Every structure is written in structure tokens, then in C-alpha cells.
Amino acid sequence: MDHVLTLERAAQLDAADPLSRFRARFFIPQHEGQDCIYLCGNSLGLQPVGAAEAIAVELEDWARLGVEGHFRARNPWMPYHERFAEGLAHLTGARTSEVVAANNLTVNLHLLLATFYAPTGTRRKILMEAKAFPSDRYALASQIRFHGGDPARDLLEISPRAGEHFLRTEDLEAAIADAGDTLATVLIGGVHYFTGVRHNLRRIAAAAHAVGATCGFDLAHAIGNVPLSLHDDDVDFACWCSYKYLNSGPGAVAGYFVHERFHGRTDLPRFEGWWGHDTSRRFLMEPDFVPMGDAGAWQLSNAPVLNMAVHKLSLDLFLEAGMPALRERSVRLTAALEGLLQRAAAAAGVSITPFTPTDPEARGCQISFALPGGRSVFDRLTAMGVVADWREPDAIRMAPVPLYTSFTDLARLEAALTTALTTP
């Protein structure tokens, strides 16, 4: 799209795309009586239209049945977590036995590291990206200290090459090879939260395994954004949240993946809880833990039903739309966003500094960039009803989410950005 994205052309693109119908399944925040241009799904996804009803069903069954709701509710609470396996498997490229909806992201990361970070002898290091999302660094550094190590020595943070904004896969592979038998675990973001770069999980996992290390991924910005194939990519473990691209609500239940080759093993260290105990024996109240024979063995407790009701609704939308079709639409929307950013900057006589790869295969639906006077431009856009994300010191992040962002949104954005850049 080399020319201005007019409202007329955008309307034609929206009308021709069968996935445009999903926009009506979400509440769009309003600004002065008009839909906002919402480009912040990489921080918080929008509310599905059926969210209130989904929660109301569980509240009504609780009021009507009390404790019997565990077995007699319309969606019985006892096996409630099992409802999420199909949707999560679809989004992660996993088997249904390998995925679980539970806890929050950093809680899951700690639970998985209890198994997959086992420092011994000289093999004590964890490798991660420099400037990863801070919670990941906090978790990894605290795990190292918990095991008697020193993050200054045992936490390897890999930075992009001089003058570049994002890591290349070959540089991660080289760093892993250089660490060799000192490396215990690799933990990388599937899509980097700041730059939007999409990492090659298969190559990173293979590099880690080649030196005898375990490999996991934080998929907070990847799940629901880009296609994943965790099982076939031979990933050991992964975890994610569900309030960004999965649209399940602020602080909503997260999830995790454990490759099936680790299932049923009783020799693995893990933190144990009642809901990870063998389902068939759970109510015998036995003193000794018998792990479930799948990824459920890493669960601790029963499902937070009210929290999870919206999550099921959102996963069903992804199953209905299909991740391959959503990805195809995502690539087109993101290319349109990239084009309009360049055009608006050129029209205003300023230069844009992109932090995100231009190769569609190397990114998700996010573009991060800097502009002269970035904060004032961002504030002007906000005043015009554009909901994007500012990150210090100079970055604007925009994410055209294919489930609800329209080409019409982007046409309106082009006009708004041109105005914001040329306003004294």
C-alpha cells in the first residue's frame, strides 16, 4: 500500500475480509461519540461482548447450587480447567495434554523453573535477552539466588549488535554455544515486548539442547499474536498471560506448556499441590503426592471459575476464526500500519526510527518506533482518540490486533498522525 489509505479504500478492504465480522464481538472504547482507534491490545485486549453473560452464568449457578455447582453447574467447576485444552493447544501448537490454564504468568514461570532450572556443578547459568520484560529478569535473578548463585555471574543477558535494536537468532545461537556446559537454562520471550521481534523458537531450543541446557519461552506477547508449534519445535516449557492478545480481562488466568516427554516422571523436582495429584485418587486424601500423567502435574489448585469464564469465551473466538486466517490478516494490517507511519513521517518532513523488523516473518502485529517530539506527538494522538502505548524513553508501540482492528481504524490513524506531526 504505497498511497494514502483513504477511508473509502479502507472500507473496501474491510468489506472484502470475512474476519472483519469479529470486530462486532468486542466492545470498542469510545471517544467523543466515536470508536477509539485502539492499538493497545499488546497491553490489554478488549472485552468480548459475551463476557458479562459468561460470568453471570457462573454467579447464577453458585447462587442456585452452592457447593453442588462443582458437579451440577452448567459448566461443572470440578473439571472446569479441562475446557481450555483445545483452545490453548490450537494457539500453541501443542497437544491437549501439554497445556493448562492456571495461575498468573510469573507464578507459572517460577513453578516451571523449579523443574527446569536445576543448577549443578559448573552448569549454573541462565541465558536471557537483555532488556526483557522486567518481571522475567526478577524471576530469573531470584531463582539464581534461591539456588545459592549470583546473578552478576550466572545470569547471561544478550544484547543486540551495536547500532541494532533487536537480537538476531544467529547471535542467540552463538551466545548459547559460547556458554556451553556452563548453561543450565535458556529463557527467551517468544515475541519481545518492546521491539516486537519474533524469535525462532525451534532454532533456539535446538541450540540450547545441543549444549545440554533446558529451554523455555515467555509467550506473553506471542500467544494469540503469531502461530506457535511448541510440541514440534521441541520446546521444554513455556508460559503466558491471557489479558493481552487473548482478551480475557485484566489479571486474567494465565497458562503454561510442558512437553509430553516430561509427563509421568516422578524423578523431576516440582512444587506440588492438590490439583496436580492423580485425578482418580485426588479425593482419597492420601498423604503422598502422585503426579498426574500430563502437564496437569504442575498445577497447584482448582480453577478460579469466575476469573476463567471470559477466558473460555475468548479461546472459542480464536477457534472460530482460526489462527492461520488471523495471522494472514495480521500481516496485512501490520504492513498497512508500517506504510502509513512512513508516509505520515515523510509528509511532515521528519524521520521515523523503527525498533521492529520490517520482515513480516520476524515480527508479530506490533510496530515500535520513535519520532522527533515523540511524547508530544503521542499526547496529541491520545487527545484525538488514538489508544497506543508510550514506553520510556522515546518509544511508541502500536498493535493492530486482527480480531478487532479494522483498516478503517488505520485510515483514521493516518489522518490523525499527519495532523499530530504537523501541529506546531
Which CATH number characterizes residue 155's domain? 3.40.640.10
d(CA 333, CA 340): 11
DSSP designation for 291? B
Instruction: Check pLDDT > 60 for residue 407.
Output: yes
| Residue 44 belongs to a domain | no
Pairwise CA distance, residues 79 & 165, whole Å: 45
Question: Which residues share a beta bridge with 109?
Answer: none
**133-148 pLDDT per residue, tens:** 999 999 999 999 999 9
Residue ending a domain, choose from 288, 320, 352: 320
Is residue 74 located within the same domain as residue 185? yes
User: Is the pLDDT at 89 greater than 50, yes or no?
Assistant: yes
- What is the predicted pLDDT for the residue at 372? 87
Domain count across the chain: 2
Domain-ending residue, one of 286, 320, 354: 320
219 and 345 both lie in a single domain: no
Banded pLDDT at 1 (limits 50, 70, 90): very low
Q: Give the span between the Cα atoms of 406 and 409, in whole angstroms.
A: 5
Q: What is the pLDDT of residues 287-301, one digit of tens each?
A: 999 999 999 999 999
Within this chain, do residues 235 and 381 fall inside the same structural domain, yes or no? no
| Same domain membership, residue 224 and residue 84 | yes
Is residue 41 situated within a structural domain? no
Q: Say yes or no: 148 and 26 in one domain.
A: no
Say yes or no: 382 and 340 in one domain. Answer: yes
Q: How far apart are CA 221 and CA 105, in angstroms?
A: 12
> Percent of the chain beyond pLDDT 90?
94
376: its cell numbers: 508530544
Q: pTM above 0.75?
A: yes
Q: Are 166 and 199 in contact (CB under 8 A)?
A: no
pLDDT at 128 over 60: yes
**140 and 221: one domain?**
yes
Say yes or no: 313 and 331 in one domain.
Answer: no
Residue 46 in any domain: the answer is no
Domain hosting 404: range is 7-35+323-422
Are 242 and 99 in a shared domain?
A: yes
Q: Average pLDDT of the chain?
A: 96
Given 276, 300, 320, the domain boundary residue is 320
> 138 with 125, same domain?
yes
Do 363 and 375 contact (CB within 8 A), yes or no? Answer: no
Q: What is the DSSP string of 147-196?
A: TT--HHHHEEEE-PPTT-SS--HHHHHHHHHHHGGGEEEEEEESB-TTT-
- Asked whether residue 114 carries a pLDDT value surpassing 80, the answer given is yes
Residue 45 in domain: no
In a domain, 394, yes or no: yes
Specify whether 312 is located in the same domain as 231. Answer: yes
DSSP SS3 for 157: strand
69 domain residue, yes or no: yes
* CATH classification at residue 358: 3.90.1150.10
Instruction: Answer whether residue 1 is part of any domain.
Output: no
Residue 47 lies inside a defined structural domain of this protein = no
